[in-house]
Structure 1
Amino acid sequence: MKPRWYFDFVSPFSYLHWQKMRPLVEAGRVEAVPILLGAVLDALGTLGPAEIPAKREFIYRQALWQARREGVPLVFPPAHPFNPLPALRLCIAAGIGVQAIDAIFNAIWRDGLDGSTATLAPVARGLGIEGDLDAAIAAPEVKQRLRGMTESALSAGVFGVPTLQVEGGLFWGNDSHDLMMAVLEDPGLLREGPLATVGSLPVGIRRKG
């Protein structure tokens, strides 16, 4: 299976990592897959990083620092987390192409827009979606495709975004990019050696709860 890159527009780290993944998606080496992170977290019974107050402040600082280090403009939207469904569904309605992903990420994380249908309407027109944007992104086939891709991510074991799936391995986070590229160039690292066997390490203790 072609390596898959799972992302959600709600994630600043997905935006930062997209700058590195775009050439691989353009070259057809990696498939970009939008998913609803909130549904993943609900299914796993875990909190998102922005739902833990001290962690929320840390990850925002981390995102800003990574953006500055990487030379990527980053402006937070007016509130975060925000509802990413309009952005995700617009991406699907527009065909999940590089142009659509670029335009939506830029509107939210470069220009600091709120990700609502009202602010995304000009983006949609630029992607060739005319008329009622609400109706376009509410189409049953659009909703079903997002649901299906999110379920596929859960089946693969995805627990956060951005995540690159290479064969049976999952690699999470913008700061894991070097590891992702090493495995993408040599998937054999997942078949033998320490990277292949570490998953069998026994669990020594489990928390009660």
Structure 2
Amino acid sequence: MTIHWYFDFISPFSYLHWQKVKALPEAVTPVPIVFGAVLAACGQKGPAEIPGKREFTYRHVLWQARQEGVALRFPTAHPFNPMAALRLCIAAGSTAQAVDALFDWIWKEGNTGESIESLAPVAAALGVDPALTQDEAVKARLRANTEAAIAAGVYGVPTLAFDGHLFWGNDAHGFAIAALRNPDVIADPEMQRVGSLPIGIQRR
């Protein structure tokens, strides 16, 4: 079974979820994508774009990190432009080492990650020429990753995807692993019924 993990460095919940995902015994393919493009495709705003929800989200993720024993320090500003970090990850092969290094730089140490200049120490540690973040092949790979995620139905990050199912969010990890270990979790009749539940009313 192929398991994909869609994420963006802009998301602190992706950072938290990565700590669990990288510990799985199964092989998981990290897929960096542009969360903003996913939001645009779905006609949504991100939590950090909604007053009130923004502040709650920041406090909630800090609380989750403390509950899970994960060091988390917000960068100097958020939301920030994650393109440089995403491209650097791809230039480094989207390896677990690259994902770790970038998440740690931004979300564990609280450094800025919005430009290749600010990420120069990470690029050096990974042995990647910063100029590669402007390579057309790297940019094309990020676009392709994002388009594939949208086509697969991804609507948020982080998302763990396998066997045609999407599990969104750090707090959905237990559900995802239960379904991964036992497909009958999703095959359950009530799970199937709610998957095609009629819509009673729609906002205009």
TM bucket (normalised to shorter chain) is over 0.9
1:118-175: per-residue Cα shift (whole Å, max 9, x none)? 2211111111114xx1x21010110000100100110111111001112121111111
**In structure 2, C-alpha distance between the alignment counterparts of 1:194 and 1:153, rounded to whole Å:** 27
Alignment partner of 1:199 is 2:195? yes
* 1:111 aligns with one of 101, 109, 128: 109
**What is the CA distance between 1:31 and its match in structure 2?**
1.4
Q: Which residue of 2 aligns with 1:23?
A: 23
Secondary structure in 1 matching 2:9 = coil
Where do 5+ consecutive residues of structure 1 fail to align? none
Q: Which residue of 1 aligns with 2:5?
A: 5
What TM-score do you get using the length of structure 2 for normalisation? 0.95
1:78-116: per-residue Cα shift (whole Å, max 9, x none)? 000000000000000000111000000000001111102
Is contact 1:93-1:142 (8 Å) kept? yes
Q: Which residue of 2 aligns with 1:101?
A: 99
**In structure 1, C-alpha distance between the alignment counterparts of 2:187 and 2:172, rounded to whole Å:** 19
Matched AA of 1:123: V
Q: Which residue of 2 aligns with 1:36?
A: 34
Identity of aligned residues (%): 58
**In structure 2, C-alpha distance between the alignment counterparts of 1:96 and 1:77, rounded to whole Å:** 22
Where do 5+ consecutive residues of structure 2 fail to align? none
Matched AA of 1:106: D
Matched AA of 1:59: T
Q: Which residue of 2 aligns with 1:62?
A: 60
**What is the CA distance between 1:192 and its match in structure 2?**
4.2
What TM-score do you get using the length of structure 1 for normalisation? 0.93
State the aligned residue count: 203
Is contact 1:5-1:32 (8 Å) kept? yes
**What is the CA distance between 1:42 and its match in structure 2?**
1.1
Matched AA of 2:121: P
Runs of 4+ in 1 over 6 A off after TM superposition: none
**What is the CA distance between 1:28 and its match in structure 2?**
4.8
RMSD in angstroms over aligned alpha carbons?
1.2
Alignment partner of 1:184 is 2:183? no
**In structure 1, C-alpha distance between the alignment counterparts of 2:175 and 2:8, rounded to whole Å:** 21
Matches within 5 A, 1:115-134: 115=113, 116-130=115-129, 133=130
